[in-house]
Amino acid sequence: MLKGISPLLNADVLYALKSMGHGDMLVLVDTNFPADSIARETPFGTLLRIDNVTSAEAAKAILSLMPLDSFIDDAAACMEVVGAPDEVPAVRKEVQAVIDEAEGKHWPLVPVERFAFYERAKNAYCVIQTGERRFYGCFTLTKGVIPPEKA
């Protein structure tokens, strides 16, 4: 256990978060996502896990340490519902609330079509699978910067 760091963030996840640079993207996915096969195609190359938690709980832990990229419009994205792109499932609402809280303002999730989301995931730095069992608990988060402290 470490002070100020969520116990949900295991050593492997912490290592990946620290290794990521500005503009690197992570994929946070539910239990139904083809996480292992896609993770093998990423630079990190190995599936990471935050088991037995929802997507929102995992996002909260990650965003407690990682800022979102303010230079792009799609720093936070989600898989859209197949056949109902305007539908907003409860899991998306929960993650949206976590993002808004972490960033201190409304930061809209950008919906991405299912197969486009898979391609986006292959270009991410790493894939983190959660214990989320609800459908469409899949998100991408792009790392931003932490500015220097003012003197």
Question: Residues 22, 51, 73, 74: which is the catalytic one?
Answer: 22
In the residue annotation, 118 being an active-site residue is answered as yes
Question: Residues 12, 74, 100, 118: which is the catalytic one?
Answer: 118
In the residue annotation, 15 being an active-site residue is answered as no
Question: Residues 24, 69, 125, 136: which is the catalytic one?
Answer: 69
In the residue annotation, 125 being an active-site residue is answered as no
CB under 8 Å, gap of 24 or more: what pairs does 40-46 form? 41/122, 42/121, 42/122, 42/123, 42/124, 42/125, 42/126, 42/127, 43/125, 43/126, 44/16, 44/19, 44/125, 44/126, 44/127, 46/12, 46/126
Q: Which residues are catalytic?
A: 22, 69, 118
